[in-house]
Amino acid sequence: MKMFSSDLTGRSVVTTDGVIIGQINNIVVETETGFIKTLLTEPKGELKLTVFQKDSKGRYMIPFDAIKSFKDVLVLDPRSLVKDTSLTRV
């Protein structure tokens, strides 16, 4: 499947629970492979999420591999951002 960066820009990113994260403002591409690495996303309203890093312009840096589906909107599975969900006994 072929897609242009302009096809992604402006699309909304939502979680699997329906929470709107924001709109894609730009993308970061790995120059050696050509694969999309990160989606730079303008936060929606007053939503403050600490799970994402922010760039110098305050945009969320969402790893592309956290996106599970993209059509009209991009669907993010927040569970994919958690590295280790197992509980450890103390």
Predicted confidence (pLDDT) per residue in 66-90, tens digit: 999 888 899 988 777 765 444 334 3
**Residue 51, CA atoms < 13 Å, CB-side half-sphere:** 14
Alpha carbons 33 and 45: distance in angstroms, whole number: 34
Convert the pLDDT of each residue in 4-62 to its tens digit: 888 889 999 998 888 889 999 999 999 999 899 999 999 987 767 777 889 999 999 99
Confidence of residue 63 (pLDDT cuts 50, 70, 90): very high
Domains and CATH numbers, the chain: 5-81 (2.30.30.240)
**2, 9, 55, 68 from 33: Cα distances, Å:** 15, 21, 22, 20
State the sign of the Cα–Cα–Cα–Cα dihedral 66, 48, 82, 56.
positive
